[in-house]
Every structure is written in C-alpha cells, then in structure tokens.
Amino acid sequence: MNIPKTAVRNFITYFIVFSIPVISLVFFTHTQLIKKFQTTTYNLELSYQNNKLNDFEQNINKLIDIASQIKISETELNENIMSRIDLIDQLRYCKALNNTLEEIILYFPDSSLVYAAQSTYTQNTFKALFGPSLSSALSGISEDEWNAKGLIPLFSDGKLCFIAPYPIYSLYPYGYLVFIVQQGRFMPFSQQEYALYYDETCLINKTGRPQYDLDYARSNGTSVTTANPYSYLSSSMSGGDYSLVTVLNDEETFYDFYHARQLFILTSIIVCTLSMILLSYFSYQSYKPYRDLKHALQRTGLIHERSTNAKPEIYQAIQTMDLLTKHNRLLDEQLIQEQYVSRSLLLNRLLNNQYDNIETINKSLENYRVILNSTYFTVCIFRLNKKPSPQFFLDNMLYYAAHPGFSVYCTLESDLRIYAVIGSISNQNTQLDSLFRKMLQILNGEGISAELYVGSPVMEKDQIHISYIEALSKYNYDDLPDNKIHYYHSPASINPVLFYPQMELNSLRSAVASENKDSAIEILECISSQLLSDTLSYSMAKTVCYEVFHIVCQGLSTEQPESFQTINRYLSKLSKIKTCEDAAAFLTLMKKSLSDTVSVCKSSEECSNLKMERIQSYIMEHFTEPDFYLGAVAEHFSLSLNNLSQQFKRHLGISPAKYITVLKIDQAKELLTKTNMTIKDIAAHIGYSDSSIFVKNFKTITSLTPNQYRNSMRQ
C-alpha cells in the first residue's frame, strides 16, 4: 500500500501537537467531572431532603392548626356534660382531618380530666405513659419558652408524640394537648437513612452511624460533610427547631461512574488515535477541492486572483454567503407569517359579512393566494383541545389535505377554534365527508383532538357568511357530543333560505358604541320583527339573541351594583329561550334595558378605583363585627374570593386579609394606649373570638405582645 508522504507527515504532526494534550485533557476533565457529578448529586439529594423537611414542617404546622381549632374551657367541662361530648367530637373531627394522626389526647392536670379521640385514659394511665417523657422534654426550658415554641416532640412507649400547652400560645395554659402520630406517614423521609434532631437533641437515629459523626456533621455549619467513604447531608427547618442529617455511601453511589471513567479514558485514547489517522488522510484528500474552491471564488470576484493569503478571504466569502442564506430564510418566514395574518383578517371579514363590495374583498384575498372560484363554498369550524404550533399554519398543512377539485383556506382564532372555508366542485356527502376525515387525521397526527361543525354549502361568495352562521350555530347548540363531524344540514342541501340580520347587528353595535339609544331601539324592533316572520330557525334566532345580549351589555354600567344581577337575570332568560316568540320577547327586554341604562364609565381604571374605594369603605364599616369574614365582602360586591384578592392587591399592594389584620391591630393599639380594657375585651371589641389569635397576630405585626406594647407606651 502506497501511503502518500503528505498523509504520514500530517499524522506525525497532529499526533505530537494534539494527541498528548488531548489525552491529558481527557484525564483531567473526567477527574473534574467526577467532582462535579458528586457535587450535583449532593445538591439534588440536599434539595430532595429540604423538600421532605418542608413536608415535615407542614405536618407540624397542621398539628398547630388543629391545636388552635380545639376550643373549650375547663369550667365548661366541669359544669356541662354536653361540653364533654362536644370536646370529644372536636377531637375525633380533628383526628379525621389528618390521616397522619393516631390519637389526640387533652389532659387537664388541675381537674385530672383526660379526653381522647378514640381511646380511654385515666389520670394514672396518662401519667404512666407520658409523665416521664414529658418531664424529660420540659426539663431545662421555662414555661414562657414552651408557650413560645407551642409544640415539642417526645417519645413515649416507642411512639412519636407532640405535646403543646392548652390553649396553644395562650398566656395562661391550663392543660396539655398530646398528638400521637404515625411515623411512616408523618415523616416523609422515613424511608431514608436519617437522624432527626430537635434543638440539640437527637430524637431518632436510623443511620447506623456513630452518634458523634452525626453530631459533628450537624454542627459543622455546611450542608455536606465528607468522611470517606460516607458523606453526611444536613438540613434545618426555617424555624431552626428541627434539623435532619442523612448519610450517603460514596463507594456505592459513585462506583458505576468510577468504572465508566476508566472505560471512557481508554476509549478516548483509541478514538483520538483513529481521529489523527483520519484527519491526516482527509486533510490530504481535501487539498484538491480546496484548490478548486479557490479558483471558483476567484472567477466570481470574491477573492483576488493573485492573493498571497487566499485562505482568510475564502473563509470570509463562505461566511458572507452563509449569512445571506440565513437572512433570506428569515425574510421568507417573516413574509409568510405576515401574509397569513393578513389573510386571516380578510377571511374573518368575509365570514362576518363585514365588507361593502364582495369583488373588492375577493381581489384582496387573491393577493394572498385565496382563490374563491369554486362552484360551492362550505364553512366549517374545528373545536380543538389545544393550540397548534405556529409552524402548523405557516406550513399550511390543512391546505394540502384537499382532494383534486377542492381548496381549503384556514384561520386560527384565539379560543382554540379553526375557521375553514372549503371550495369544491361538488356538494356530494361522501366527498365532503372524506375530506373532513382526512383533515381530522392530520390534526390527530399533530397530537390535537378536534371536532368539526359544518355549515351548508352555498353557491355564491356573498353567501359564505350564511354557511359560517350555520356552522357557528352547530358549534354553540349541537346536542350530539359523541359525533366527530356535525352537519347543520345534509351536505347535499345547498343555498338555504336564511336571512341572518348581520347588517342590523353591525348597526346596533355602532349605535350602542355612540350611545344613540333611540337608533338602537329602532334596530332592535326591526330584528324582532324578523324573528317573528319565520325566516330564521329557532337555533339561529337564539344565536341572534346572544349577539344582541353581548352588544347591549356593553351599554350597561358595571359600576352599578345591580348591573351584575341584571346580567345574571338576562343570562337566565337566554337559557330558557325555546321558540322564536321567546327570542322576540327577550329582545323586548333588551329594548327596555337600553332605555333605562346609564352611560358606561369612560375610563375602566376610574371605574376600578371607584369600586376599590367602596370595598375599602365596606371593610372599614364592618371589620370589627364578630361574624365578619372576607367571603362576605366578595359576596356583597358579586366577586369571587380569588378575583377580590387579585384586584385588592393590584390597587393597594397588600392582600385583603392582611389589610383587615392591620386595621384591627391599629385599633387595638389605640385601645391599649387610651383605655384600661383587658386583652380579652380588646380582642372581642375588634372582632377576634379567640384572644390567643389576637395576641399572635399583634406580635407578628409589632414584634411585641399587647401587654409589652401597653407598658412601652405608658412609660
């Protein structure tokens, strides 16, 4: 085999210059990759661990919420047996709300009363089970510290329990509330090797590792502590009371990666050597095409014929041609997109009969390759389950579904509908049905489920809007949801005698927009007479009523509280239309509404501000009432709770719940400063049924308890 000297020379040069650095780089890179992979693995495990710890924190917060819901005094239990029954019902209800709970126990040490959700305890059995653990858990902390913590864990009889003062967060607790939880459900990280700490005490150690290693990893201050071959991952809850340490065996976790690194380095050396051989050979083979390219570029004038350094000029010429090609491709895509948007606007005008001369709009459509020269025209509407990609319409895939003699022109609406105008030389059922099914198959191929609503074929271009109205009627009122293709009539029936009042509806829209009520009422009378002349079917008459309702509602002032009730009443009337006479009666109601309505607020921002002022005034008047709640505000102003919160926060930058809390705390500050009312009386005066909740909210807002605030203001 005669190997060219140029290839041998290139191989030796490439091997010396590239192979040794590449092999060294591969070894260094893979070593760094292992470290990066370990770091990434630790971060993922730590993120997963933090999520589990957050779930654990949420479970604890749920217990605190349950503890806040149980409300009954020791006096009531001593005086009334029904109060005891009610307390047990509360405990059972709270246990049923949380599937992680095994038992809830309420213990009053002064009266030796013990109540549980499903078991029976006496004072002796309670002290035998929980006395030693409770004494150990509470040793070293004061009563105020326990009240601040609210809920502390303890182990009793091999079970994980949580105990809180009753009432929780109360200044003067007089009982204990004990939650016995199911560890497997309550602790989402129980399937891992973990150690759970509370403050400085290790509650649970499921790792099998020495305690001093876990304590060192927890107190080291970093999230990951490595002690070969083990790594310790530590996390803490936001409050800092609970922390979690998990253990990873690095030899087991990264064994496959170590093995893969050795194999990859060996493979890299082999591939590098083969690459040098191939690079040398092809560099030799590429010399002649390079020379031919140089001569070709010289002939085009892109480089000089006698250039001493032609290689940079060749590269620059290639880059220039590449940029020109990309630029032309982008211009083509932009032009196609602009043409599609313009064509969609023109098709919508054609479908809605919004033109003065059919020939004018026909010529405009021809400029965008929409040729309406068929014998029959049919409009259909696709109901989609999701929006197609933009490229789907730029490629015009439904256009190519057309059989010979058919043409398809489509436009996508914002509400997941496709309007299609189909031109055909025949109105035979089988041919149309075959085309429709092929179009549905194309959409299914894109992962889109669709239903098709078809109007009747028409023979004139200026009647296309009639077929559109029929398809729209089927879209709105069809009662056969299992069908994929819904025909208004048999595809063989053409040119239906329909007189849809599109021009009158356009005139009505203009009259309402210009606040010309007299003209609008006259137009409604004209439409009403058409409904009673039997020229429209029932479904078409109902469609007309919906359009009239939409137009007239634009003339109703949304700032009048009764407007929402009026609109709801009209919607109820619309749903009960069964005949053309019902439709005419509905239009009479619309005429009365137009005559009674006031002008619409000129600025939507002004209207929104006025509504927000009324909402604030309503809250100021009623926020101290005991039965006041945010849902009452939303109901009073005919808003959903979510809508009220969004509007309130957009205007004031604060949620309505926090706004009400701030109002109550401000009034409480005034009462604390100017009066000698007790904390309980002040809480009741500003609308709190539970003084402990008032104290908690007051401390959250001011960082002081009510008594501390009163003392500081009187010093």
Q: Are residues 62 and 38 in the same domain?
A: no
Q: Is the pLDDT of residue 491 over 50?
A: no
pLDDT band of residue 159 (cuts 50, 70, 90) is confident
pLDDT at residue 701, as a whole number: 86
Do 274 and 202 belong together in one domain?
A: no
Q: Indicate whether 39 and 61 sit together in one domain.
A: no
Better-scored residue on pLDDT, 265 or 472: 472
Residues 383, 265 within the same domain: no
Indicate whether 29 and 60 sit together in one domain: no
Residues 193 and 226 both lie in one domain = yes
Q: Is residue 304 part of a domain?
A: no
Whether 316 is covered by a domain: the verdict is no
Is 140 in the same domain as 223?
yes
Mean pLDDT of the chain: 78
196 and 89 fall within a common domain = yes
**Which domain does 419 fall in, by range?**
371-487
Total domains in the chain come to 5
The amino acid at residue 530 is: Q
Q: Which range in 328-337, 369-378, 586-595, 596-605 is most confidently predicted, on average pLDDT?
A: 369-378
Separation of first and last alpha carbons in the chain? 106
Which amino acid is residue 290, in one-letter code?
Answer: Y
Residue 445 has pLDDT above 80, yes or no: yes
Strand pairing partners for 424?
376, 406
HSE-up (13 A, CA, CB side) for residue 40: 7
What's the confidence (pLDDT) of residue 239?
67
Q: Which helix (H) or strand (E) holds 159?
A: strand 159-166
Kindly state whether residues 241 and 115 are assigned to the same domain. Answer: yes
Report residue 555's pLDDT band, with 50, 70 and 90 as the boundaries: low
Which are the contacts of 22, defined by CB distance < 8 A and separation ≥ 6? 268, 272
Q: Is the pTM of this model over 0.75?
A: no
Residue 655 in domain:
yes
Residue 494 has pLDDT above 50, yes or no: no
453: left (phi over 0), alpha (psi -120 to 50) or beta: beta
In this predicted model, what pLDDT tens digit does every residue of 12-45 receive, in sequence order?
777 777 777 777 777 777 677 777 877 888 888 8
Question: What was the pLDDT predicted at 678?
Answer: 92
Residues 483, 447 share a domain: yes
Out of 223, 249, 275, pick the residue that ends a domain. Answer: 249
325 domain residue, yes or no: no
Looking at the structure, tell me whether residues 423 and 455 fall in a common domain. yes
Instruction: Report if residue 296 sits inside a domain.
Output: no
Confidence band, pLDDT 50/70/90 cuts, at residue 240: low
Q: What is the pLDDT of residues 665-676, one digit of tens each?
A: 999 998 998 888
Per-residue pLDDT at 496 exceeds 70: no
* Residue 321 falls inside a structural domain: no
Number of Cβ atoms within 10 Å of the Cβ of 505: 19
Percent of the chain topping pLDDT 70:
81
Query: How do residues 320-333 score in pLDDT, each as one tens digit?
Result: 767 777 877 787 77
- The verdict on 513 and 578 lying in the same domain is yes
